[in-house]
Each structure stands twice: as C-alpha cells, then as structure tokens.
A and B are shown apart, each in its own frame.
Chain A
Amino acid sequence: MTATLPTPSDTTTAASPSRRRASAPRVARESPLSRASALIVMLVFTLYFLIPIWWLFIASTKSTAQLTSTAALWFADFNLIENVSSLIAYRDGVYLKWMLNSVLYAGLGALLGTLFAAMCGYALAKYSFPGRDAIFNVVLGGVLVPATALALPLFLLFSQVGLTNTFWSVFLPSLVSPFGVYLTRIFAAASVPDELLEAARLDGSGEVRTFFTISVKLMLPALVTVFLFQFVAIWNNFFLPLIMLRDETLFPVTLGLYAWNSQVNQIPELRLYVLVGAFLSIIPLIITFLLLQRFWRSGLGAGSVK
C-alpha cells in the first residue's frame, strides 16, 4: 500500500488542483470543437442543478396570489421580507424552533460524533493492542448498515425505556459515525508521524494531551470532512425523527416542513410557508459547505484514494 494520501504538508496543495496542474504546459492543442462541447454539457447541467433552487428563491419572494399567476422564474412584487416574517410569526414561531432543533441535533451531534470517531480511529491507527482488527472490522460492518434500517429497532428499544418523543431519542443515535472512524483511522495513519508522538512522549506529554494538542491539528482536514458529512447525515435524516417524535416542538426543520406540506390541502396558506421555509432551511448548509470547502475537499480525497 504505497500511500498516495495527502500528508499534512501537501493537503493544502491538494485543495487547489488548478495550481497543481499549472506546472504542466497549458495544452492549446485541444480542438475548439471538444472545448465547445465540454462547455455546452456543463452549462446545460448547470441549468439543471440551479434552476430548481432559483425557482424556490423566486417563489419565496412572491405573494400567494402571484405564485400561480406570474412568470415562475422571475420576480413579481418582492415580498420576501413579509413572507419571512409571517412564516416566523405563524403558530408562535414554531419554524424558528424547528431550525434551532435542527442546528442542535446536527451541529452538536456532528461535533461530538466527530470527536468520538476521531478518538477511536486515532487509537486504532496509532496503538497496537489485542482485538484492534476485530474492532475495526465490526465498525466497518457498521458502515454498510444503513441508518434507516436502525430506525425501527431504535424506536422499539427507546419505547421500552420510555425515551421516545424526547430530544435524546433523535440526538443520541446521531452521535455514532462508523464512517468517521474509518476515515480518521486512514488519515491518522498517514498524517500523524510516530516520531512526533515519540518526541511528545519524551517531553513528558501524556497520550490524551498529545492527541488534543498535536494530533487533532494534523488530522484537521479529515475531522472537518467527518463533521460535515455527519452534519448532513443528521440534518437529512428523516426516518428517525419521523418514527420517534410526536411533539412538534421537538421536530427538526425537515420533519416540520414535511408535516406542513401534508396539510396543504386543508390549509392552503401553508403552501407559501413551505416554500419560504424550505428556501431558508437550505441556506445554512450551503454557507457551511462554502466556508469549509478548502478543508473537507482534501479530507474527501483521503477517503476515496486509499
């Protein structure tokens, strides 16, 4: 296994591919025809990917009446602010509560989940002890077990101990990320040199302290990747909250919007709230991805290359 893994020093270059290839001579011999067809393919699909989101944005700026009566892909009266404030005011601000719940479930869950996965992956990579391979194989089996397959058994278990319809019933299962253990183990093996750990030991630093002060920094791209993907997995998880929660003040925003969407036929004004709410709910994720992309992209490379 020759490692083509990014070592800590070249993770930054891996994050900027254009620079990496810049040393190769700019190839001018590609025919204009192939260039044009490549561009056309990409432009057509850009429309495919972005028009739905553009439509959602436009729709959330319109009044209910204009939703069906005006051109769907362009602005009518700009009512976004009014729409947002009436969405927030609706049913005592339950929408804000849902957003807050989602942030708590996904943000806190992914943060702790990443920490636990990193500690475990790091230990599997950097220490030898009996049962290490067994643990790793069981965890890998866990990667192949889909989260939705666990939702029903979790529900049955939680109802035995009376924990269904609580914050914990959705929060606690989200803390487990087998894929995180897998990714951090690979990354720790490649990017935390044993010599450095030895040096830290000679300096009298304890193992746990070394992990938090030195190793965590070296593993940062992998940690950001695990955090983001765990964050998205929790944010998108639908089955678990659907089956666990009855009390709508505990809903994450996806379940809340789903519930509203199911009532559109009885309460027509909900249609606009669903659209505005959906638009607002995807903004935090897009921003998070944009802000952190430098880190998670190099981490993603580690996962797929190995």
Chain B
Amino acid sequence: MSVDVGSGVVRTPRLRSRPTKVLVQHKKAIAIFIAPFAVLFALFYLIPIGYAVYQSLLVIEREGTFGEAKEVFGGLAQYALVFQNGPFWQSVTRVFLFGIVQVPVMLGLALLFALLLDSPLLRGKRFFRLAFFVPYAVPGVIAAIMWGFLYSPNLSPFTAITKNVDFLSADLVLWAIANVVTWVYVGYNMLIIYSSLLAIPSEIYEAARLDGAGQFRMAWSIKIPLVLPAISLTAIFSIIGTLQLLAEPQVFRTFSSAVSSTFTPNLTVYTTSSIPNVNLAAAFSVVLALTTFVLSFGFLKLTQRKEAK
C-alpha cells in the first residue's frame, strides 16, 4: 500500500543503487535549480541556527557596575540559567498539559469528520468540507481577537454563558486558548486525513462489504489503520505548533490578566529578548527548538515502529 510520509521524513528512499563513479549530467542545470533555494536555506535557516547557538554560549561581562558591557565566552552558563529558570519550565509544563489534551481532541474530531465525509451516511459533503475548513483562513491573531470578544461578558452573543463562566479566568484561560487553536486547525487536519481516505482503492472495501461489515466496522478495521500515516503527520505538525504557541496567548494578554508574560515558552523567549537579555533568550530558543525536534522525531519513530508490527 501507500508508503507513509513518516518514513520519507527520515529515511530517504534509495531510488536506485548506482555505480560509485557517476558521470553527472546536466551539471549546470542542477546548479541553477538548486542554488536559489540552497542559498536562502543557508542564509535564513542554517546560519540563524548556528548564530543562536553561538549567542547562547556568550555572557555579558561588565567592568565595574557602570562599565562597558562586553560579550565574552561563557560556556554553558546560559544553559545553566535556563535550567534554573522556574517560569520557563512552568510554561513548558503548561504547553505540555495543553498539548496532551488539545492535540488528541482536535485530531479525534478531525478523524471523525473525515470518516463521516468519506462514508455514504452523509449528503452535502462539499458544503461541510468548506464550512469546516473556513476557519483555517483566519490567522491565529485574528481568531484570538475574535474569540477574545466572544468570551468577554459584555460583547459576547452568548451572554447567558459568559456571565456565569469566566473563560478568561486563570483556571480556564488555557482551555479558552485551546478552543481557539482547535477551531482554527480542525478543518485543516480533517482535509489531510480525508484526502488520504480518498486514496484508498475502493476494491479494498468490496470484501468487507460482502462479509456484511457496516460503516462503523469498516472505519475501525480498514480505514483508520490505513490513514494512520496521515494522522501521524498531522500529529507531528500539531506537536510543533503546540510548543510554538505565541500569537494566541499574546493576544489574550489584552483580554485577561491571567495570561502572564511567560505563559508559553515562546512568550518567555520574546519577553526575555525584549528585556533585553539576548543571550539567555537565544539559549531558551535553542532548548525549545531541540525539544520540539526531539519530540516530533520521537513521535515519528514511535508511530513507525507501530506500523511496522
């Protein structure tokens, strides 16, 4: 069957084994094709990452209290500060909690909608597909502003609810943000899973149908296992997105005092860099990028192992 995206991400498919000495044809064309992307990728991906690592290894030293500030090599001093930084780790814990709840809920809904769209149970599929996808066209900042108004007691169309439940309170604001993120991204994830459902050849269903399997049984035993690669792809992007939360909490700071300047890891990076302590902020960035990378990569490996069984 279809090869999953996951395996493509780490193992480059070896297309053909080639003799060791290859005469490379079309050298000039290859260079023309690759150069623009390669140069930009180096300038705006590789060099910044290297520069962040370099900056994170520096400390500011002053001669006397008011002396000139000087950047000197400080080894892992900034990383020691990162690990002692309470608010940063609280923010990391907070987004972990957020991710553990929000990502499964969102992907569960996306899968449910995709399966319903793919089943013969439903009419008006075009309409539902579009209606569910529209929020994806709303940028995170705008969605957060909009929901911020919807949550506020005096403007909300749901005053009966918002007068009794304060969504912007310290207890609930994290879940209020989770709702915004879910609202924006469910339709997008639904479409990815749905297009992978469409790619399943219909012959596979024939046998099941002859055996008298109902829609539910077919979804559970055939469709879900076959779209696992698509689900794991959406899960990886969701994990990356969760750890990078910034726009929504930043907007909610204007609606709620419960959102601190170190509410999420990225907010901590932003706050630290504008204090400014760029070296510590760079160290935060590096730790955060590494955590993201390790988690998404680890998840990839995990799902691959399951599929291999």
Say whether A and B bind each other.
yes
Is A275 a contact partner of B44 (Cβ separation < 8 A)?
no
Does residue B154 face the partner (Cβ distance < 8 Å to A)? yes
**In the complex, what's the smallest C-beta–C-beta distance from A162 to chain B, in angstroms?**
15
Out of A18, A20, A282, name the residue touching B142 (CB < 8 Å). A282
List chain A residues, Cβ under 8 A from B146: 52, 55-56, 278
Is A275 a contact partner of B149 (Cβ separation < 8 A)?
yes
Out of A17, A130, A172, A175, name the residue touching B198 (CB < 8 Å). A17
Is B139 a contact partner of A130 (Cβ separation < 8 A)?
no
Out of A30, A73, A243, A274, name the residue touching B145 (CB < 8 Å). A274
Out of B27, B128, B149, B278, name the residue touching A46 (CB < 8 Å). B128
Is B5 a contact partner of A239 (Cβ separation < 8 A)?
no
Does residue B275 face the partner (Cβ distance < 8 Å to A)? no
Is A49 a contact partner of B132 (Cβ separation < 8 A)?
yes
List chain A residues, Cβ under 8 A from B246: 148, 238-239
Does residue A14 face the partner (Cβ distance < 8 Å to B)? yes
Q: Is the interface of B mostly helix, strand, loop or mixed?
A: helix
Residue-by-residue, is B141-161 near A (CB-CB < 8 Å gives 1, otherwise 0)?
111011111100011110100
Q: Is the interface of A mostly helix, strand, loop or mixed?
A: helix
Is A145 a contact partner of B285 (Cβ separation < 8 A)?
no
Q: Provided the pairs A53-B134, A130-B22 are in contact, do residues A119 and B36 lie with their beta carbons within 8 angstroms?
A: yes
Does residue A173 face the partner (Cβ distance < 8 Å to B)? yes
Q: What 4 pairs between A and B have smallest CB-CB spacing? A: A72-B157, A207-B29, A123-B33, A153-B48
Binding site for B on A (CB under 8 A): 1-2, 4, 6, 14, 17-18, 20-21, 23-24, 26-27, 30, 34-35, 38-39, 41-42, 45-46, 48-53, 55-56, 59, 67-68, 71-73, 115-117, 119-120, 122-124, 127-130, 133, 135-150, 152-157, 172-173, 175-176, 178, 181-182, 186, 206-208, 211, 232, 235-236, 238-239, 242-243, 254-255, 257-258, 261-262, 264, 274-275, 278, 281-282, 285-286, 288-290, 293, 297, 300-301, 303-306
Task: Supply 23 A–B pairs (Cβ within 8 Å), ascending by A.
Answer: A34-B121, A38-B116, A42-B113, A46-B132, A49-B132, A52-B146, A52-B147, A72-B156, A122-B33, A127-B29, A140-B10, A144-B297, A146-B292, A149-B285, A149-B292, A150-B49, A152-B273, A153-B52, A156-B282, A238-B246, A238-B250, A303-B192, A304-B5
